[in-house]
Amino acid sequence: MGNKLMDLRDARFAIYDQLKISDLYAYEKFSDYSDDTVDLAINTAEKLAVNEYYPINAAGDKAGVVFSDGKATVPAEFHAAYQKFCEGGWTAPAESYDYGGQQMPTMLNYLTQMLFFAANQSLMVYTCLTHSAGKVIEIFGTDEQKSKYLEPIWSGRYGGCMDLTEPEAGSDVGSIKTKATPNEDGTFNIKGNKLFISQGESDLTENLIHILLARVEGDPEGTKGLSCFVVPKFRVNDDGTLGKLNDVVCTGVEHKMGMKGSATASLAYGDNNDCIGELIGGRGKGIITMFNMMNEQRIVVGMEGIAMGSSAYLHALDFARERKQGVAFGQRTGPQVPIIEHPDVRRNLLVTKSYTEGIRALLLYAAKCLDLKEVVDDETAKQKYSNLVEILTPICKSGGSDKGFDACVTAIQIFGGYGYCQEYYVEQLARDCKITSIYEGTNGIQANDLLGRKIVMKGASAFQALIDEIQSVIAAAKGIDGLSDYAAELGTYLDKFIETSGLLRERLTENGFLAYSWATPYLSIAEDIAVAWMLLDQSVIASGKLAAGGAAEADAIYYESKINTTKFFISSILPQVTGKLDAIDKNDDTFLKLEDKYFID
């Protein structure tokens, strides 16, 4: 099988055969890439993830982050592995050559990141947030800010974090109380408090760049009055050397269920009236600026979840093949057999296999859309890929995190009592993975985003772009023996999904409170349809390869497995959307009558 982090045979099939990463080589930005260089990158990332990140994950979980005198010390083992990560150019491989990047296709970057997330989520969180902080500066920063911060961020010498959440303003971003007062030199004095800030303080890098939301005194309440600021832990001198410590104080780190090697900090800004921040992105445009970081992180969080779920599946699969318990099904006596031969275990494995393969492909598909919207010249095509990224973001985030966690829980179930013990990796994976459904906007917020914004935006053109893509795959599959019935089945569910989506759009204006009560089941339906779409697309390709003949035995087994996984998902898992669709269509209003007094404590 290879490593227990990711099924690279399946991942390679997704990027080479299904998504055709070679199409990107024709664009100037990616002209230095070929299948050989892509494979080299995957192999190099796998080696680093398996040999450096994975072996220290349990030690990092045990040691945790130590807080003392305002300083957060990460597990000692993390430093050497992080340095090797930086030296290998993995901190910002998709960025421009101009800033020391490798102009790597996002699809390839995402695949390699998933290896690292599966190997050591706590350590990788430091890196992915650093990248997003740098991206904000690249897109919205002044030339001076880019010159000052980008190279050390992209090289990994500086870390980065996103500072939104406050004690009284979690998901309600518009309630932020942190204040910014203008100085004569164009900088701002920052004063306030934040909490739950991942990498808000650590000793992993020589400096830390906070991307912070605050309200300039006198600006309007709500989100329209927010601005975005660059707040370094150490001020940076004109020559690039570090200056005095900024007035940013870590007041504590959280003691969490999982992710124990990741520093989640509470921060106080300006207690001594000397916290200096630099405006970025324009005054009053903080939400636009910050949501560039947030939207990138939402897809990244989906990757985190499914990466850990994929690893849990591979561990469970190995265990199920090796663990012998009970006799063969239908027999009363005989030798013990591996538990994979028992129906319940096999079904659990198949469900997990279906979701991990389908959602991984969906995330890589979204990555290709991110690349294409940047490099295509045709404006219609550019808008199409932009629309697809918009509507897929909440589906990728929620699907990756929820189904990734489900995979971890299922893996524990397959291990039985062993899985509940710390000696087995799946126990830690479940604890580490749970946060992904909360990170970067809870999955309830993702559901509200899909229902209230994404399916209605631009005259429903983003929704239609997704439907068109799914329908094109269904049409292709209907012409293939062995897939046509399954394609028709998906088509039936899709038609019902389209109809229900139209009803929900109408209800948003009729009774929004009741309509939004259906947001989470609606998102769940979208996730299942998206997984079926990805798996069916892969089966069309696998069927073609089998029909062409000449496949090696191992390849033929893989293609047959792909087709059977698709059939299993569409016939045995996808039908569960029927009940959810029927409930939404029925639109029973009892929900409105269940006021607070009916929640008996």
Per-residue pLDDT tens digits for 61-98: 999 999 999 999 999 999 999 999 999 999 999 998 98
What tens digit of pLDDT does each residue of 522-573 get? 999 999 999 999 999 999 999 999 999 999 999 999 999 999 999 999 999 9
CA 578 to chain centre: 27
Q: Which helix (H) or strand (E) holds 267?
A: strand 264-269
Backbone dihedral angles phi then psi of residue 191, each to the nearest 5 degrees: -145, 125
Adjacent-strand bridge partners of 67: 72
478 within 8 A of 484, measured Cβ to Cβ:
yes
Angle at 210 between CA 204 and CA 212, to 5 degrees: 155
Residue 597 has pLDDT above 90, yes or no: no
251 within 8 A of 69, measured Cβ to Cβ:
no
Tell me, what's the pLDDT at 25?
98
Per DSSP, helices labelled H in 376-435 are 379-415, 425-433
Query: Residue 314 is encoded by which pair of tokens?
Result: 């591979």
The whole-number average pLDDT for the span 506-535 is 96
Tell me, what's the pLDDT at 170?
61
Distance CA 228, CA 381 (A): 31
Per DSSP, helices labelled H in 8-105 are 8-12, 35-48, 57-63, 77-87
What tens digit of pLDDT does each residue of 283-337 get? 999 999 988 888 888 999 999 999 999 999 999 999 999 999 999 998 999 999 9
The whole-number average pLDDT for the span 370-386 is 96
Provide the pairing of β-strand 226-232 with 234-236. unpaired
DSSP state of 76: T
Nearest alpha carbon to residue 95 among 36, 38, 138: 138
Tell me, what's the pLDDT at 595?
82
What average pLDDT does the chain have? Answer: 95
Residue 20 has pLDDT above 80, yes or no: yes
DSSP state of 100: T
Active site members: 440
For residue 347, the tally of other CB atoms under 10 A from its CB is 12
Nearest alpha carbon to residue 519 among 460, 572, 456: 456
> In this structure, is the dihedral angle defined by the CA atoms of residues 401, 523, 583 and 510, taken in order, positive or negative?
positive
Nearest alpha carbon to residue 437 among 470, 456, 472, 409: 409
Residue 169 has pLDDT above 70, yes or no: no
For 375, residues 6+ apart whose C-beta sits below 8 A from its C-beta are 24, 27, 28, 29, 30
User: With bands split at pLDDT 50, 70 and 90, how would you rate the model's confidence at 1?
Assistant: very low
Count of all residues that appear for the chain in the document: 601
Residue 344 has pLDDT above 50, yes or no: yes
- pTM of the entire predicted model: 0.95
Distance CA 524, CA 576 (A): 10
Tell me, what's the pLDDT at 426?
97
Tell me, what's the pLDDT at 420?
95
Tell me, what's the pLDDT at 171?
65
Helices 553-568 + 343-375 axis angle, to 10: 100
DSSP readout, 198-253?
ETSS-SSSSEEEEEEEEEETTSPSSGGGEEEEEEESEEE-TTS-EEEEPSEEEEEE
Nearest alpha carbon to residue 535 among 470, 439, 584, 588: 470
What tens digit of pLDDT does each residue of 208-249 get? 999 999 999 999 998 889 999 999 999 999 899 999 999 999
Helices 121-140 + 425-433 axis angle, to 10: 30
Backbone dihedral angles phi then psi of residue 72, each to the nearest 5 degrees: -110, 120
Percent of the chain with pLDDT over 70: 99
Residue 183 has pLDDT above 80, yes or no: yes
Distance CA 141, CA 562 (A): 46
